[in-house]
Amino acid sequence: MTDTTNAVLAAADALVAAFGRHDAKAYFDAFSPAATFIFYNLDRTLENRAEYEAEWALWEIRDGFQVRSCRSTNRNVQPLGDVAIFTHAVETDLSIGGEALTNNERETIVFARQPDGRWLAVHEHLSAAA
């Protein structure tokens, strides 16, 4: 594996781990403030991290949203210079309104190398698994 691939996998691991423990601060810190988000269960694109943070807070308050755990498999990194595309299958255990659910989804996350060398997510696209 290349250094870029390893660095992007480490960034993806940190993002998935934060999501899996419902650590909103660490999770959102893995994204650029300008990141965009496309989720199959929303009727619109979230145009930046702040919009997603507001949506997350709404889910928590309105729906009792709580992530219990998250597993990432079938991982792939496609390095493209200072950008890399990470794809994976993601299985998430969560609770909504006190009811336990498991979602099986596919996800693409685009990472960009920052001037300080960190890899931040700049786009996330989530789809339901077939």
Question: Coil, strand, or helix at residue 46?
Answer: strand
Query: Considering the chain, what is the average pLDDT of its residues?
Result: 97
Provide mean pLDDT across the span 52-75: 98
Q: What is the pLDDT of residue 23?
A: 98
pTM of the model: 0.95
CATH topology for 3-128 is Nuclear Transport Factor 2; Chain: A, (3.10.450)
Q: Which helix (H) or strand (E) is 26 found in, with range?
A: helix 24-29
**What's 129's DSSP letter?**
-
* CB crowding 24-63: b at 16 or more within 10 Å, else e: eeebbebbbeebbbebeeeeeebeebeebbebbeeeeeee
> What share of the chain has pLDDT > 90, as a percent?
98
Tens of pLDDT along 117-127? 999 999 999 99
Is residue 41 scored above 90 in pLDDT? yes
